[in-house]
Chain A
Amino acid sequence: MPWSARSLGLIVPCLAGCMEMSPFQVDLPAHHRDKTAENLARLGQRPPPALPWRFAVVTDNHQAYDELASVVDELNARDDLELVLHGGDLSDVGLKAELVWSLDELERLRVPWFTVVGNHDALSNGKQLYASMFGPEDYAFEHGSVRFVCFNSNEHEYSGTPRLTWLADAVRGSSTQSTVALTHVPPDALAKSYEQTLVENRVALALSGHFGGFELRQNGGTSFVRVDAVMSERWAEVTVGLGGSLALAACERSGCAPLGGGP
C-alpha cells in the first residue's frame, strides 16, 4: 500500500472520530444511547430459563478497562448465565470517553446486561451523560422467577435519592418468587437508608458495590451483599434455584467459592 494511502487510512477515521469538541459531550450516536431499554428488549427475546440459572454481578471498574475486559471474557466463556448486572462506577470522573470505554466492554457480553449509576458516574456532567447512554436511573424488570429492582442510591450526588416511595412500589406486590435489588451505595453508608424498605418488603437479596471487598450481612429475610470491585478482577454470581432460592458465590478467574452459605 502506498504511503499516502496508509496515511489516509489513519487520518480519515481520526478526522471523523477525533473532533471531540469537549470531554463533556452527551450528544451520543444512536448506538451508544438507551442501553437499558435495548437490553430489556434482548432479555424479553430470551426463553424462560430452566432452573437452576445464574446471573453475574460486576461493579466499580472506574478506569480498569483491561480488568473489566478480562472479566467479560470469563463471563462470555460460560453458557449458564442469563444476564449480567453492573453495580456502577463505570467511570472515574464521568467523562464521555470513560463511559464509552466501559460500554465497549459491556457490549461484548453475550447475554443482556444492566447497570446502575455510581457516584463517580455523576461527576462532571456525568448525570446527563449516564441518562443519555443508559436511560432511567430507577427501573425494574422480571426474568424467570426473579424480579430485579435497580435504583440510584447516590444521595450526595442526586438530591432526593434513594426514592423510597418508588422503591417500595417497585419491590411490593411482585408475582415473582424472589426479588433482587441492585444499587451502588450500601445502605449502611447512607443517611437516608433504604434497608428497612427492602427488609419490610421481603426483598431476598440487596446487591451493592462502592467500597470494594465482599461482605454478606443478614437483616430479617434480606441478605445485603457488597460485591468486590472488578478492578481486582472479582465478581459475584447468583444461582437461582427451586422456589426462587438464591445461592451466592464470590468469583475470580481461578474459580468461584460460596459466599457465606448464601441467603
Chain B
Amino acid sequence: MIRRAAAGLGLLAVLLWPGTVAGESCPDRADPLGWAAPDFVKAQSGGYLGLATLGVGYATKNDLLAGTAYYGWVPRQVAGIEIHSFAVTLTARGRLCLDSRWEWIVAYGGVGSVFTRGEGFFIESPSPYPDDYYQPTARRYLVLVGSEVLLKPTTAPAWLSGHGPFFEVVFLDKYLSAWWKNDRIALRETLSLALGYKLRM
C-alpha cells in the first residue's frame, strides 16, 4: 500500500509540476490565426492509441494548456480485428526556451479518454444484460506525462513556428486499477510509451 501510495503521489507531482514552471523563460507566443486554425498537429505510435495515430489540437494560456483530438488505427494483423480509436487529451505544460531556436517542453501531464469502435466494444452492456452488467469496453481513461523538444526553423513556411519529437508515458485506467489492487503488478506494467513528431503552427 505504501509503495502504491508513493508511486501515486509521484505521478501526481509530475502531473502538477508543469504548471509551476510554465512560461518562465519564454516570450509570449503569437497566435495570429486564433481559433480559426489548429495550433498543432502530431503523429505518433503507441501510448495505447494505436499503431499509427494522428492528432490535432489547440493550445492556450501561452501554451500552458493544450487540448488534442486523435484518431488511432491498429491493423487486423496486430489486433485480430481492425481497431479504430478516437481520443481526446487535456495537458498542462511547462516550457523552457533554451535559446532563440530551441524550446523544450520540459514536462507535460494530463488526462484523456479513448473511444474504440468495433464488435465487442460498447458503453452500455449489450442485450440481454442490464446496462451496467459490464464495465464499458469502448471507453477507457488515460493518464499521461511527456516531454517534447521544438526547433523553430529559420527557413520555413510562415505557418510553421516549430517542429520536433516528443515522447509520452501513458497509463490506462484498467491497468492502473489492477496495479492498485495487486502487489504483484509493477507500475511499469501498466504503461505504454508513445513516440511521435509534432508540427506547431
Contact = CB atoms under 8 A, between A and B. Distances in A.
B29 to A, nearest CB: 32
Interface stretch (B104-112, B148-156, B157-165, B173-181): B173-181
B183 interface: yes
Interface range on chain A: under 10, 10 to 19, 20 to 34, or 35 or more? Answer: 35 or more
B77 to A, nearest CB: 7
A27 interface: yes
Contacts of B45: 19, 21
Contacts of B178: 63, 65, 97-98, 101
Contact of B118 (A23, A25, A125): A125
B189 A97 contact: yes
Given A14-B188, A125-B83, A22 B137 contact: no
B128 A156 contact: yes
B135 A128 contact: no
Interface stretch (B11-19, B33-41, B48-56): B48-56
A22 B80 contact: no
Interface string A120-132: 1011111111011
Interface string A161-197: 0000000000000000000000000000000000000
A21 B46 CA distance: 4
19 contacts: A18-B191, A18-B193, A22-B51, A22-B79, A23-B172, A24-B79, A63-B178, A63-B181, A66-B184, A93-B174, A95-B175, A97-B190, A98-B174, A101-B178, A101-B184, A123-B134, A125-B118, A125-B119, A126-B120
A26 B178 CA distance: 20
Contacts of B77: 27
Nearest to B189: A97
A14 B193 contact: yes
Interface string B43-79: 0011011110000000000000000000010100111
Given A22-B51, A22-B74, A123-B137, 7 more contacts: A18-B193, A63-B177, A63-B182, A66-B184, A92-B174, A120-B134, A124-B116
Contacts, number: 119
Contacts of B134: 93, 120, 123
| Chain A facing B: main interface SS | loop
Interface range on chain B: under 10, 10 to 19, 20 to 34, or 35 or more? Answer: 35 or more
A24 B174 contact: no
Interface string B120-136: 11000010110000110
The 4 A-B pairs with the shortest beta carbon distances in the complex, nearest first, are A128-B80, A26-B80, A20-B192, A24-B79
A66 B74 contact: no
A25 B76 CA distance: 9
A64 interface: yes
Contacts of A5: none
B124 to A, nearest CB: 13
A65 B185 contact: yes
Interface in A98-141: 98, 101, 120, 122-129, 131-132
Contacts of A18: 188, 191-193
Contacts of A24: 74, 79-80, 83, 116
Contacts of B137: 93-94, 123-124
Contacts of A127: 80, 120
Nearest to A130: B80
Nearest to B178: A63
A69 interface: yes
A1 interface: no
B140 interface: yes
A65 B184 contact: yes
Nearest to A13: B188
B177 to A, nearest CB: 7
A12 interface: no
